[in-house]
Amino acid sequence: MDLQQALRGITTPLVTPFDPDSSDVDEPALRNVIDRLLENDIDAVFPCGTTGEFASLAPEERRRVHEIAVDAVDGEVPVLAGAAATSVAEAVDYAEEAAEIGADAAVVTPAYFHTANAPEGNQRFLERIADRSPLPLLLYNIPACTGQRLEPETVETVAGHDNIVGLKDSSGDLEYFLSVMRRTPEEFRMLQGYDALLVPALRMGADGGVNALSNAVPEQLTELYEKYDGERGDELQDAVSGLFDACATYGFAPAAKTALEYRGVIPSDAVRPPLVEVPADGRETIGSAIDALI
């Protein structure tokens, strides 16, 4: 599996569908999402990320979601397994488990809740995970959820580690993204996680995107990646940004599920507490944004 090549396209951070009655993971619905992504030439999948509500999954559920993803893609695209944790040991455990299942890489954030109390804290945290992980690591900068950003200087330092291959940036800060890109080697993959900035990032040299909206509109996101450097790229970015704005209001896990339900891909947009489903007026807004895009 050519991980470096796959990270030059569009990766989907998978939703985790739930049965609305039992709240169990809806395995057939998850498989249906993945099948549709493969049909639309998505380059990689990322289960158990923020959009996948990993923080609301029990450890055995995280394992099962990874197993389903690996089985469903059947070697067609890489699986980037979510391994975010607050301790080195736990992150390594998730990475080891993902390797046993057959995933191709692990995705890690800085530690959350007890954040780094000095600049070198995140560096030590990430390097110690990388030293012990059997899988290559993709770093994930999402300060809104972790309470801190991965400083450009930190990313520059850890990018020299043989087992750290790139960064997904969901900060929404294009200046930060470009700063990290200037500081890291050409082979270090820079992936834009803020859908509304995908075209600007690609035009500035980004390798690809990890985009929640690709769950619901994969055909448009893959076309955007292919045609970003032209008028069609501008048109698609404008339309994607409209859907992005609608989804951002309600949170991307609930909104992506609403969009998938609207398109008939999953039977329910159920989420787990503390998240709540998108209200009726929001569902209408998201539906209208999808209609404008497709």
- Which residues are marked as active site? 140, 168
The strand pairing partners of 192, in sequence order, are 169, 209
| Residue 3 · residue 165 · CB < 8 Å | yes
Q: Which two tokens stand for residue 26?
A: 């809806």
How many Å apart are CA 85 and CA 191, to the nearest integer?
Answer: 21
Residue 201: closest CA among 213, 212, 192: 192
Name which of 4, 107, 14 is nearest 68 in CA terms: 14
Q: Which residue has the tokens 């059947």?
A: 74
Q: Which residue has the tokens 């930190």?
A: 154
Q: What is the rounded CA–CA span in Å between residue 47 and residue 107? A: 10
Helices (H) and strands (E) in the chain, counts: 13, 8
Q: Are 260 and 268 in contact (CB under 8 A)?
A: no
Q: How many CB atoms lie within 10 A of CB 276?
A: 11
CB-CB contact of 164 with 137 (8 Å): yes
How many Å apart are CA 97 and CA 69, to the nearest integer?
Answer: 14
